[in-house]
Copies of this chain bind each other. A is one copy, B any other.
């Protein structure tokens, strides 16, 4: 069982590789190799089997062909230009998030082996004039270029699967928090940084009001769900291969209170409140009131409480002093 992770240098890609390394098997078969590919060479991950790290520019078909070998059984497509970045650079967003996805699907099709393709979509596919709650058959109505590109990826994943070219499964990720590392150009970056930086004794800026509601999942649960997602039986997926990954709705205030409950009063004092119209324009276009049924029925799960998300960060990710 050979697994390729496109976007293997990112937070979820690295955690997924670490989790697979510990597990040693996927879809009932022993793991023999993981390839981590990204636009810059990913950090290595230690495992009891070979882990290869390589560069791959998914916007370049030749680069995609070079990094997807004929014996690749499972392809995780995590590579993407994030929301604010795709909004600022229209052409780059389409090049990576749409054309890049097409390149991967075309290469997977060319293999002729019907590989499993696990695609990460986003809650940014939802928005606008559609009624709450968001259910499994709600219109994909993105309010950003990033959401549009993810919605196109979903449609292609289903069509390539229907034709038997791949065995696709797509998951609309909630916002991942607490995400380790540095802030990125996702409009949702603050949803981790207002917790992560204070937990590390640093200041952070919150660009929205404390009653801002959103839909969250921890990195640990996300990786669990991505592994379950690869293991689901094809016949259980239905014709549309995409589904919401379960999350929970919390306010910014609830996130901060959870941090305080776990580590005490001091970190919350490091948060500065500075409204940012550009970020609010994007994140208020997202929909938090999600009521997934399909993914829950298939066994995917959300976090129990945001205190758990805080603890997972401390256990898995907090840099040692």
Contact = CB atoms under 8 A, between A and B. Distances in A.
- Main SS at interface, chain A: loop
Interface in A125-151: 128-131, 136-143, 145, 148, 151
A141 B148 contact: no
A182 interface: no
B142 A139 contact: no
A139 B140 CA distance: 6
Interface stretch (A50-58, A155-163, A212-220): A155-163
Given A155-B148, A163-B90, A137 B142 contact: no
Contacts of A92: none
A137 B138 CA distance: 6
Given A148-B155, A152-B155, A155-B152, A137 B130 contact: yes
Interface string A231-264: 0000000111000000000000000000000000
B159 A129 contact: no
Contacts of A145: 159, 163
Contacts of A129: 137, 238-240
A142 B155 contact: yes
Given A148-B155, A155-B151, A128 B163 contact: no
Contacts of A90: 163
How many copies, total? 2
Nearest to A157: B148
Interface string A59-93: 00000000000000000000000000000001000
Nearest to A145: B159
Contacts of A238: 128-129
A131 B138 CA distance: 10
Interface in A96-155: 128-131, 136-143, 145, 148, 151-152, 155
A240 B148 contact: no
Given A143-B239, A148-B155, A148-B156, 15 more contacts: A128-B240, A129-B238, A129-B239, A129-B240, A131-B137, A136-B139, A137-B139, A138-B139, A139-B140, A139-B240, A140-B155, A142-B158, A143-B162, A145-B159, A145-B163
* Top 6 closest pairs, chain A to chain B, by CB: A130-B137, A148-B159, A137-B139, A148-B155, A128-B239, A152-B152
Interface of A: 90, 128-131, 136-143, 145, 148, 151-152, 155-156, 158-159, 162-163, 238-240
